[in-house]
Structure 1
């Protein structure tokens, strides 16, 4: 494996068992935008230090369980944020990328050259690589809907714990899936500075509520 391998920030495969988090930044942003009815601001963007602490706790709990069954060392938490970089936007997101790296997250950044330049294939490749290395002890996929990951996640759930991290409004397939664990992103302690202004059909206010469209109507003619 080359030190220039674009699928991982490690030159050689990890040898310790890993509890892996992959974060689909474009999809999470889209999901947040649909809940908020507009572009997320600083108050409603997730705190990655809170996500990191949560992942450390999850890996530690998994290690405690393995110690009880005498199955080997505790898994090490590893987290990567996958993101697209639109032309001309590098300077706008440079601070965000540096902040992620300072927290302890790796970042996989890919130019957004066409509509098909998504990071989903790169996320799937990274997950498969860690599995093929024989180090994957647990997996968390953070994505607002995550449908593109469903087949692989259900396959891996036969071998390891698999969690989908997202928003229950957009991830019914995971919420109702008997083989996967689902956790709403807002249920991670401290992940948002203020509660999200969420409205769903099960808990409408007496006066009613406006439900914003997920995309502009003009998208129908693209």
Structure 2
């Protein structure tokens, strides 16, 4: 029997499920790292994704899924993020803005390397599936190692799965014949300005710097493996 059907854990505090849902799970730490690598540093306001645009896009997808499924499908938008020690005041406006748009937020203290939100995202997906309301899944992440197993299980059951992210970092999804991949920049109005993307296939004549995805010091803590 699939692990999806064996999941019964109740996730206290999670939003109540809708009758049928298209679930978006946004992996904030992963996408922040991907965006930072494209920009070569922390994004300015012009390069931060607009979640109202993402919400409208998701509502449109839910509408199309409703038409295909012959039943009403609600859009459920969720963002998962870590909060570093002393960092609550920094991200509070962002979290409040997300909630004001209509996104649920799962925030977890970042205390060590084992306190990532990865298992919490998987738990939420499995919870919705166990409730029998999951009609489609959208994963905003480049972390194929984390999500590939559950994606394969859902697709095998006939559920549509879409991955959104940056094509530079999600080759596993781009190359898949069963996953629908959409580059985040292709969603209308998500970014106020075009991202300054550099590709090995389209380098300028004078060359270009490609920034590291993580600091070299990460090797000291084993994160570089």
Task: Tell me which residue corresponds to 1:173.
Answer: 172
Contact 1:23/1:82 (<8 A) preserved: yes
Once the two structures are TM-superposed, the CA of residue 2 in structure 1 deviates from its matched residue by 11
Q: How does the TM-score come out when normalised to structure 1?
A: 0.91
Give runs of ≥4 in structure 1 deviating > 4 Å.
1-4
Contact 1:78/1:105 (<8 A) preserved: yes
**Structure 1 range deviating more: 21-30 or 212-221:** 212-221
Task: Tell me which residue corresponds to 1:216.
Answer: 215
Task: Tell me which residue corresponds to 1:70.
Answer: none
Give distance in 2, aligned partners of 1:46 and 1:155. Answer: 30
Contact 1:18/1:75 (<8 A) preserved: yes
Once the two structures are TM-superposed, the CA of residue 4 in structure 1 deviates from its matched residue by 7.8
Task: Tell me which residue corresponds to 2:46.
Answer: 43
Give distance in 2, aligned partners of 1:24 and 1:146. Answer: 12
Once the two structures are TM-superposed, the CA of residue 218 in structure 1 deviates from its matched residue by 2.6
Describe how 1:57-206 pairs up with structure 2 within 5 A: 57-67=60-70, 73-158=71-156, 159-206=158-205
Q: How does the TM-score come out when normalised to structure 2?
A: 0.90
Give distance in 1, aligned partners of 2:91 and 2:11. Answer: 23
Give distance in 1, aligned partners of 2:57 and 2:92. Answer: 25
**Structure 1 range deviating more: 140-149 or 120-129:** 140-149
Structure 2 residue matching 1:20: 3-state secondary structure: strand
Task: Tell me which residue corresponds to 1:24.
Answer: 27
The answer to whether the aligner puts 1:9 opposite 2:9 as a matched pair is no
Structure 2: 5+ residue runs without aligned partners? 1-7
User: In the superposition, relative to structure 1, how do residues 4 and 62 fare at CA in structure 2: closer, same or farther (>3 Å)?
Assistant: closer
